[in-house]
């Protein structure tokens, strides 16, 4: 008779986004530092064939497409854990990295957690989630700092999707919003729904993830992405795209490299009206669902998750990573 397998508290999702090397780096780090009472889900679009025969260590989930938001939502539907953690694209886990994040969910107002993402040598912070100001959208918090300050932690508005923690029940409700393949836009839209529901994202410095140099590059926003991010702010917060764009241009008048994002914010006033209408019509019902899901998920998080014995990851997998 098979031994009783307790229901996992945490589902760790490692999406495969097309780059085998970066995917395997993330997966190996999770398996080597895997906490107790968790499951590991590998999400892919059907193109990953499990060359290392890891079926006993992970569960595979097929997504309708390869983009990160679609894979995360597909994994949320399949997840057994009350909490869900996304780690991908070269970001690697460190020993005990989930503990502070899970403790943060003891607060029922916390719907997501942003870990501290550091550079490869762990000397500086790449991001402690993101924030939004009158002059910028989805800006990394504490970038370049050795240690984020209390003010940095208070500034966190949302988590970058490639390294984030969520309440699974809340995440499932967000599938009702019009799909976007851009992870920055997706996390901004999802975070907007969370905030409208009276919930928040918590930045946790003690939850530490390391990332390669490509992570910082992925935080650079195109004019198109910035336009959609401004549309999220317009719908969620009633922020005027015209005023925000002009403010952004004025704030960055001496920084030509930032003119493109500022123009993107300004162009949301006329270029994104259709998607803004859809999001306005969808948000009320999604926010109501998020509030109901959060209320149903308020039982105490009493199950602590000490790190279990290290998994003996096959040498072939370590070499590939």
What angle (nearest 5°) sits at the alpha carbon of residue 17, between those of residues 132 and 155? 15
Domain ranges in the chain are: 10-297
Angstrom distance (rounded) from CA 242 to CA 75 = 37
Lowest mean pLDDT among 24-33, 60-69, 90-99, 118-127: 118-127
What confidence tier does 184 reach under pLDDT thresholds 50, 70, 90? very high
207-241 confidence digits (pLDDT tens): 999 998 788 888 888 889 988 998 898 888 776 77
Architecture of domain 10-297: Alpha-Beta Complex (3.90)
Q: Among 95-99, 143-147, 266-270, 290-294, which is the least confidently predicted range?
A: 266-270
| Higher local confidence (pLDDT), 183 or 245 | 183
268 vs 171: which has the higher pLDDT: 171
Give the CA count within 13 Å in the CB-facing half-sphere of 160.
Answer: 27
- Please report, for residues 90, 267, 307, the alpha-carbon distance to residue 211 in angstroms, rounded to integers and kept in the order given: 6, 33, 21
> Is the pTM for the entire model greater than 0.85?
yes
> 13 falls in which pLDDT band (50, 70, 90)?
very high
- β-strand partners of 41: 13, 59
């Amino acid at each position: 008779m098979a031994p009783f397998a307790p229901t996992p508290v945490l589902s760790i999702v490692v999406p495969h986004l097309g780059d085998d090397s970066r995917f395997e780096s993330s997966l190996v780090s999770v398996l080597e530092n895997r906490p107790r009472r968790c499951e590991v889900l590998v999400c892919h679009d059907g193109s990953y064939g499990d060359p290392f025969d890891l079926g006993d260590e992970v569960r595979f989930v097929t997504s309708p497409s390869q983009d990160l938001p679609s894979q995360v939502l597909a994994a949320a539907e399949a997840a057994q854990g009350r909490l869900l953690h996304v780690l991908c694209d070269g970001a690697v886990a460190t020993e005990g990295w989930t503990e502070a994040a899970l403790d943060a969910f003891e607060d029922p107002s916390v719907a997501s957690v942003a870990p501290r993402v550091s550079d490869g040598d762990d000397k500086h912070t790449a991001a402690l989630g993101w924030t939004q100001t009158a002059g910028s959208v989805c800006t990394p918090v504490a970038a370049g700092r050795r240690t984020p300050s209390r003010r940095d932690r208070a500034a966190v508005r949302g988590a970058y999707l490639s390294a984030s923690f969520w309440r699974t029940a809340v995440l499932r409700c967000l599938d009702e919003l019009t799909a976007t393949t851009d992870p920055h836009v997706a996390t901004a839209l999802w975070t907007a729904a969370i905030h409208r529901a009276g919930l928040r994202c918590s930045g946790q410095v003690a939850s530490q993830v390391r990332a390669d140099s490509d992570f910082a590059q992925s935080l650079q926003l195109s004019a198109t992405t910035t336009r959609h991010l401004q549309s999220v702010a317009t719908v969620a917060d009633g922020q005027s795209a015209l005023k925000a764009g002009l403010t952004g241009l004025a704030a960055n008048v001496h920084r030509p490299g930032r003119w493109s994002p500022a123009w993107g914010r300004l162009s949301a006033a006329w270029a994104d009206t259709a998607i803004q209408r859809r999001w306005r019509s969808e948000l009320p019902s999604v926010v109501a669902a998020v509030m109901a899901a959060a209320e149903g998920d308020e039982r105490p998080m009493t199950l602590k998750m000490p790190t279990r014995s290290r998994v003996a990851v096959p040498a072939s997998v370590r070499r590939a990573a």
